[in-house]
Amino acid sequence: MAASATPEGAVERIVIENAAIATVDANDTEYASGYVVVAGNKIESIGAGKAPEGLANVVRRVDATGHLVTPGLVNTHHHFYQWITRGLATDHNLFNWLVALYPTWARIDEQMTYAAAQGSLGMMARGGVTTAMDHHYVFPRGSGDLSGSIIRAASEMGVRFTLARGSMDRSEKDGGLPPDFAVETLEGALAATEETVKKHHDASFDAMTQVAVAPCSPFSVSTELLKQGAELARRLGVRLHTHGSETVEEEKFCHELFGMGPTDYFESTGWLGEDVWMAHCVHMNDSDIEAFARTKTGVAHCPSSNARLAAGIARVPDMLKAGVPVGLGVDGTASNESGELHTELRNALLINRLGAHKEAALNARQALRLGTYGGAQVLGRATQIGSLEAGKLADLVLWKIDGIGHASIADPVTAIVFGAAAPVTLSLVNGKPVVENGTLLHADEDAIARSTREQAQRLARIAAES
């Protein structure tokens, strides 16, 4: 690293050289050995060979020999609070898993959600995630400022973040799954969601925090909450998120209650559109996929969680062929205990090859695109992040591929997708380092481990006493 004094007001530059580069731009441009120049919080230039001579105000030079540079990974679906209930109900399907865990989740409070968010964010950031999201929908009465605690954890970690402010108003007494004391009223959920958007959402190009409107799922919210939630989101100019078509049980539930399948039900409530993305979408027929493609509704594909809960294999190759925007999601860490998105690149590829398309389902570059540009599309930020291009925000990762786990793999992109989880040497978010040599720069990992363990034990005690 070379550092120098920078005149006041001048844009500081970071120069990365001698790296293999996968830009994930529209042409899938790659460089066997190239450079990236970061000026302030944006990518100034990128190309083959050495960086241009005579660059002013260079505060750091990185020799990236033995590394692959990619856009930072973008997580499109998660439930941070579940970090403190990992390893429970490990042999359940989705509905039974929810029934088993809702009574515990309904006891969370602000201290717990903050610790769980730190654990979730730290694990993802260490593994190359530069943009995270959290779908939080459990708001027990008197539990404190849960949304604020999650946003604070993301800000402290230094990652770009979308909070999907969730809600539930269909409890057991109404035929839903959550306990009666774990849901909000229709009016309360809408008011709290609007307050969260107005307080925290930033619509600017380089926003670090954004908010989406996110009623939980067809079996935990009323039709009116879906309809009014969509109206609220569009009035406020923010995106919409929910779970959809995750299991055969959900399909049956929708037909019994609404007389139609999930996709038709969502369309009837205003929940298809280019400002909408849904998690899972495992059980989609040709008509469903056509509807998503026609409306540009996005999908958060969560292969590990779908496998953990035996939900099935999403038809990702068919979605991509039809033009559906698809990104990757960790999903809650009670259904994906690793909590890492970079492993989802590999799992997305391998699990989809078990489906109808077999070895032609996905290749390494398609998997990388799902985890980067696809995620940016789904979050509505494809003009800002998701690919390495001049003018885009400087969210990027240097993956070390010259070590024992990757050095003999012929192709760099194949190395990080098919190979073991590659170490992160440097991760930049908004042009600022967040991870160096596999270590978080803005958080104490040992302290987070202690805190999450303590809060997990505390939650277990409270739930047992209730």
Q: Give the torsion sign (CA, 229, 76, 288, 91).
A: negative
The SS3 call for residue 294 is: helix
Handedness of CA 324, 233, 247, 263 (dihedral sign): negative
The token pair that represents 149 in the structure block: 């605690």
Residue 2's pLDDT is 37
Query: In residues, how long is the chain?
Result: 466
SS3 133: strand
Residues in Cβ contact with 259 at an 8 Å cutoff, skipping those fewer than 6 apart: none
The CATH number for 13-71+385-440, chosen from 1.10.10.10, 2.30.30.100, 2.30.40.10, 1.10.630.10, is: 2.30.40.10
CATH number for region 73-378: 3.20.20.140
Phi, psi at residue 49, to the nearest 5°?
Answer: 75, -150
Single-letter code of the amino acid located at 331: D
Q: In this predicted structure, what is the pLDDT of residue 10? A: 86
CB 21 within 8 A of CB 64: no
Residue 221, both tokens:
């919210």
Tell me, what's the pLDDT at 7? 61
List the pLDDT tens digit at each of the 466 positions of the chain: 334 455 666 899 999 999 999 999 999 999 999 999 999 999 999 999 999 999 999 999 999 999 999 999 999 999 999 999 999 999 998 888 888 898 899 999 999 999 999 999 999 999 999 999 999 999 998 999 999 999 999 999 999 999 999 999 988 888 777 777 778 999 999 999 999 999 999 999 999 999 999 999 988 999 999 999 999 999 999 999 999 999 888 889 899 989 999 999 999 999 999 999 999 999 999 999 999 999 999 999 999 999 999 999 999 999 999 999 999 999 999 999 999 999 999 999 999 999 999 999 999 999 999 999 999 999 999 999 999 999 999 999 999 999 999 999 999 999 999 999 999 999 999 999 999 999 999 999 999 999 999 999 999 999 999 8
Bridge-based pairing of strands 13-22 and 30-39 is antiparallel
Task: Report the number of secondary-structure helices (H) and strands (E) in the chain.
Answer: 15, 17
pLDDT of 4: 43
* Identical fold between 13-71+385-440 and 73-378: no
| SS3 per residue for 74-132 | EECCCCHHHHHHCCCCCCCCHHHHHHHHHHHHCCCCHHHHHHHHHHHHHHHHHCCEEEE
Q: Where are the beta strands (DSSP E) in 282-438?
A: 298-301, 326-328, 396-400, 424-429, 432-436
Question: What's the confidence (pLDDT) of residue 8?
Answer: 61
Distance (Å, whole) CA 376 – CA 26: 13
Q: Which helix (DSSP H) or strand (DSSP E) does residue 318 occupy?
A: helix 316-322
- Buried (b) or exposed (e) across 40-62, using 16+ Cβ within 10 A? bbbbbbbbeeebeeeeeebebbb
The answer to whether 221 and 170 are in contact (CB under 8 A) is: yes
CA distance 256 to 135: 27
CB of 414 within 8 A of CB of 364?
yes
Beta bridge partners of 20: 68
Its pTM surpasses 0.85: yes
Question: Distance (Å, rounded) from C-alpha 187 to C-alpha 432?
Answer: 41
Beta-bridge partners for 21: 31, 69
Query: How is the chain split into domains, by residue range?
Result: 13-71+385-440, 73-378
Q: What is the 3-state secondary structure (H, E, C) of 237-289?
A: CCCEEEEECCCHHHHHHHHHHHCCCHHHHHHHCCCCCCCEEEEECCCCCHHHH
E strands of 347-418, at which residues? Answer: 396-400
Distance (Å, rounded) from C-alpha 339 to C-alpha 276?
24
Residue with tokens 């978080």: 440
The pLDDT of residue 268: 97
